[in-house]
């Protein structure tokens, strides 16, 4: 496929569209590859630094962090290899995105759920 080319799977609803995204979500901060690479490396370092603490947290928070990291690593690999991220899921009502973006969104949603409803603070 060429950039911008689209294959309808469900016409008008779901297409596979080849998009080269030089920025972050919704194309913000385009052509800032070094910033995104450094941020991804910092995220990986922080994850492994705090991993023993994360293992003791509730599953929603722990696995949310794992999903967030997995998505960040997926996009980081694209960015290192190509200087940008390849997006392809196109629902025509939302910007085109990829599997790594889904992992990031689900991971953050799981972490928010854990913080709001699962993690109990102790008053000691």
pLDDT at 121: 59
pLDDT at 25: 80
Q: Where are the domains of the chain?
A: 15-22+31-118
Please state whether beta strands 85-90 and 6-10 pair in parallel, antiparallel, or not at all (unpaired): unpaired
Rounded CA-CA distance 74/78 in Å is: 7
Rounded CA-CA distance 45/69 in Å is: 10
Q: Are 90 and 96 in contact (CB under 8 A)?
A: yes
Q: What is the pLDDT along the chain (124 residues), one digit of tens a residue?
A: 999 999 999 999 999 999 999 988 877 888 888 999 999 999 999 999 999 999 999 999 999 999 999 999 999 999 999 999 999 999 999 999 999 999 999 999 999 999 999 877 543 4
pTM attached to this predicted model: 0.87
Active site residues: 87, 101
List Cα–Cα distances, 111 to 21, 46, 99, in angstroms: 26, 16, 18
pLDDT at 28: 81
pLDDT at 122: 43
């Amino acid at each position: 496929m060429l950039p911008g080319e689209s294959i309808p799977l469900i016409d008008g609803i779901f297409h596979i569209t080849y998009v080269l995204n030089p920025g972050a979500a919704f194309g913000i901060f385009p052509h800032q590859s070094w910033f995104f690479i450094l941020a991804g490396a910092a995220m990986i370092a922080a994850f492994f630094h705090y991993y023993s603490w994360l293992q003791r947290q509730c599953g929603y928070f722990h696995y949310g962090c794992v999903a967030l990291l997995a998505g960040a690593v997926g996009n980081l690999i694209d960015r290192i290899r190509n200087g940008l991220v390849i997006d392809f899921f196109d629902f025509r009502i939302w910007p085109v995105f990829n599997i790594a973006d889904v992992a990031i969104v689900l991971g953050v949603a799981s972490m928010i759920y854990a913080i709001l409803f699962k993690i109990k603070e102790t008053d000691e």
